């Protein structure tokens, strides 16, 4: 079998781990041949690929980023689906392993409908894909953000300041929630539950008055209850709003309402860079093997997924149908704990 791999959407620690194990499994176990399409869906759209022998992937497990490059090229239109189908036929590619989040796998679902054999692999630091317990890259992102919180906690206490740490998460607050819990933040603000800035300012005042650290973790997509709408926003090819900068607004509000001095840290793309955690290295290794095994069982239009201790397959339709966001009841239970930090 000739298998094409590609990585799409925002990069994520662990992409190389999937590429490595999939290639080794395909070539060494099944005597397949692998090619890597470059820069997400742009690769198959423009027939831009490189050979992927085992020698090209041997030492890449701990390396961040993706050796194939990535992009947010949207190939989901009927014309592009047709173009890719024709290009794959011409290149003699029998099946695709697209590694990506909701957008990348949404295109995979359309290609599968058009007859291209596809096994998706769930990637996103946001951990917001349905059908899987966890996505790779998430634990690495949480660890990086938690390291930042650990560092700013001490300087917050020394200076009796509040520090607002902004993490990624446009629609889902999983990174913020786990970082806030792991780091001992006094509040975590997530997109799923609008926040009351007066209440956050009151928590901060109480802590700084006790000479204790006051760190607030905010997801970039969090919204205040008093949201002002109508700003012009920049959209990417999938129509997502480019956001960020909420930490600055919250810090100003806290300072104005509590009189406490504030600072901000935007963890930003550092969450997506560098070496994956041991957990993500093991997970990506298992997912790459499982994707190739699924192809050889004759499966298609599915995504390999973590279910408890097992790796199973779920339909791409199920995986991309709805975003997996933080249930508000769960948030409120954990927020009550953070309020008593």
Nearer Cβ to ligand F6P (38/168): 168
The residues near 141 (Cβ < 8 Å, ≥ 6 apart) are: 13, 125, 167, 168, 175, 271, 272
Nearer Cβ to ligand F6P (80/170): 170
Nearer Cβ to ligand F6P (141/181): 141
CB 135 to ligand F6P: min, Å: 10
Residue 11 annotated in active site: no
The residues near 228 (Cβ < 8 Å, ≥ 6 apart) are: none
CB 3 to ligand F6P: min, Å: 24
CB 11 to ligand F6P: min, Å: 8
Selected catalytic residue, list 32, 39, 103, 126:
126
CA distance 300 to 43: 20
CB 124 to ligand F6P: min, Å: 6
Show the tokens assigned to 87: 């290009």
The phi-psi region of residue 79 (left if phi > 0; otherwise alpha if psi is between -120 and 50; otherwise beta) is alpha
Nearer Cβ to ligand F6P (21/70): 70
**Edge-to-edge strands, sheet with 49-51:** 49-51, 33-37, 2-7, 95-100, 117-122, 302-307, 310-315
Q: Given the rule CB under 6 A, which residues bind ligand F6P?
A: 9-10, 124-126, 168-170, 220, 272
CB count, 10 Å around CB of 37? 30
Phi, psi of 74 (to 5 degrees): -95, 115
CA distance 159 to 290: 51
Q: Which residues are catalytic?
A: 126
């Amino acid at each position: 079998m000739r298998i094409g791999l590609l990585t799409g959407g925002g990069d994520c620690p662990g992409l190389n781990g999937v590429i490595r194990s999939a290639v080794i499994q395909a070539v060494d176990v099944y005597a397949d041949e692998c090619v890597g399409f470059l820069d997400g869906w742009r690769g198959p759209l423009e027939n831009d690929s490189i050979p992927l022998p085992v020698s090209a992937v041997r030492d890449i497990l701990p390396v961040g980023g993706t050796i194939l490059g990535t992009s947010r090229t949207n190939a989901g239109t009927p014309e592009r689906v047709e173009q890719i189908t024709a290009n794959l036929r011409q290149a003699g590619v029998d099946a695709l392993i697209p590694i990506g989040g909701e957008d990348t796998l949404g295109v995979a679902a359309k290609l599968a409908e058009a007859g291209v054999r596809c096994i998706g692999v769930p990637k996103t630091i946001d951990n917001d894909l349905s059908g899987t317990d966890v996505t790779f890259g998430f634990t690495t992102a949480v660890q990086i953000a938690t390291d930042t919180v650990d560092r700013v906690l001490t300087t917050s206490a020394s200076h009796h300041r509040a520090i607002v740490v902004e993490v990624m998460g446009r629609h889902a607050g999983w990174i913020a929630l786990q970082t806030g819990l792991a780091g001992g933040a006094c509040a975590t603000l997530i997109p799923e539950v609008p926040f009351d800035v007066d209440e956050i300012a009151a928590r901060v005042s109480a802590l700084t008055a006790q000479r204790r650290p006051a760190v607030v973790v905010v997801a970039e997509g969090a919204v205040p209850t008093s949201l002002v709408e109508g700003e012009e926003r920049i959209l990417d090819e999938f129509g997502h709003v480019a956001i960020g900068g909420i930490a600055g607004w919250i810090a100003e509000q806290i300072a104005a309402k509590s009189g406490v001095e504030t600072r901000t840290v935007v963890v930003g793309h550092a969450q997506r860079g560098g070496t994956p955690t041991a957990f993500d290295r093991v997970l990506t290794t298992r997912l790459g093997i499982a994707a190739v095994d699924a192809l050889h069982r004759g499966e298609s239009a599915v995504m390999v997924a973590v279910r408890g201790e097992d790796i199973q397959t779920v339909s791409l339709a199920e995986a991309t149908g709805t975003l997996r966001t933080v249930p508000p009841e769960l948030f409120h239970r954990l927020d009550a704990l953070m309020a008593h930090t």
